[in-house]
Amino acid sequence: MRKLPLLNAETRPFWTGGEVGELRMHRCDDCARYFHPPAPVCRHCTSLKVTPTPVSGRGRVLTFTINHQAWTPELAEPYVVAIVELEEQEGLRFLSNVVNCPPEEIEIGMPVRVVFEQVEDVWIPLFEKAAA
């Protein structure tokens, strides 16, 4: 059971790219840099020419935590929250979960790849362990 995000013109590409197996990150057409979260303007150069762009979905775990607190009754089992940096650009990162892996096997720096969990009209980008 996950709380779902409100989709709008900026955020929809990120949250629905998984329908076709794509992780989409906003990228500036002028300075060619990615940025997150998605916005109608580039955070680096203020250009208004920005495009949601498919990326590899590969990255590494920048940091993580194993949550043990049942914030709601449905969250009784430990789960892993991580910040993943994508291989496309230093600093291009977002908060997610690492799944399909015993928590004790996860390390900072571990290579990961995106997997999607569909809930209603949202494809939530999660990560699993990838070959080095």
Partner 1 sequence: MVTRFLEKNVAIVGVGQSEVGRPSSRSAMQLTVDAALEAIADAGLDPKDVDGVCSWPGDNSNGGSFSPVGPLAVLSMLGLNCNWFSGGYEAAGPLAGVMNGAMAIASGMANNVLVFRTITESSNRLTGSKDQSLAAKSGPRDGNFMWQWCTPFNVLSVANITAMYAHSHMQKYGTTPEQLAQIALNARRNALLNPKAVMRKPMTMDDYFASKMISTPLRMFDCDVHCDASTAIVLSRKDIARDLRHPPIRIEAIGAAMNQPYLWDQVDLTGNAMPDAGNAMWARTDLKPADIDTAQLYDGFSILTMMWLEGLGLCPKGQSGAFVEGGHRIALDGELPLNTNGGQLSGGRTHGLGYVHEACTQLWGRGAERQIRDAHVAVCAAGGGPLAGSLLLVKD
Residues that bind partner 1 (CB under 8 A): 2-8, 11, 15, 36-37, 43, 62-69, 71-72, 75, 79, 81-83, 93-97, 108, 122, 124, 126
d(CA 118, CA 132): 27
Q: Cβ 40 to partner 1, closest distance in Å?
A: 14
Q: Name the burial class of residue 42, with classes exposed (0-12), middle (13-18) and buried (19+) by CB atoms within 10 angstroms of its CB.
A: buried
Nearer to partner 1, 32 or 66 (CB): 66
Q: Cβ 49 to partner 1, closest distance in Å?
A: 20
Q: Cβ 90 to partner 1, closest distance in Å?
A: 13
Nearer to partner 1, 48 or 81 (CB): 81
**Residue 60: beta bridge partners?**
85, 111
DSSP string, 81-132: EEEEEETTSTT-EEEEEB-SS-GGG--TT-EEEEEEEEETTEEEEEEEE---
Q: Cβ 3 to partner 1, closest distance in Å?
A: 4
Nearer to partner 1, 8 or 100 (CB): 8
